């Protein structure tokens, strides 16, 4: 196996927009925990916020 010359960590969503994916997963986790929520609610209320602030 060849060792990569470079690894890029995209922690702020500049290269890949993962906000929708994160909100879909958050809605799934909250629903599984018994909270009445869905993707649209999570997108509207939690987009742009850190998980700590959620």
pLDDT digits (tens, 9 = 90+) for 29-42: 999 999 999 999 99
Contact 54, 26 (CB under 8 A): yes
Question: What is the pTM for the complete model shown?
Answer: 0.68
Specify the pLDDT at position 16.
85
Binning the chain into helix, strand and coil, the percentages to the nearest 5 are 40, 0, 60
pLDDT value for 17: 85
Query: CA separation (Å) from 2 to 7, 8, 9?
Result: 13, 17, 19
Looking at residue 33, its pLDDT comes to 98
Q: Are 27 and 42 in contact (CB under 8 A)?
A: yes
pLDDT per residue as tens digits for the range 1-54: 899 999 988 877 788 888 899 899 999 999 999 999 999 999 999 888 877 887
Which whole-number Å values give the CA distances from 27 to 7, 10, 15, 18, 46, in the listed order? Answer: 30, 23, 24, 14, 10
């Amino acid at each position: 196996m060849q060792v990569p010359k470079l690894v890029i960590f995209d922690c702020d969503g500049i290269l890949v927009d993962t906000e929708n994916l994160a909100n879909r997963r958050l809605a799934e986790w909250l629903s599984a925990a018994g909270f009445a929520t869905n993707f649209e609610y999570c997108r509207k209320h939690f987009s742009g916020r850190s998980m700590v602030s959620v």
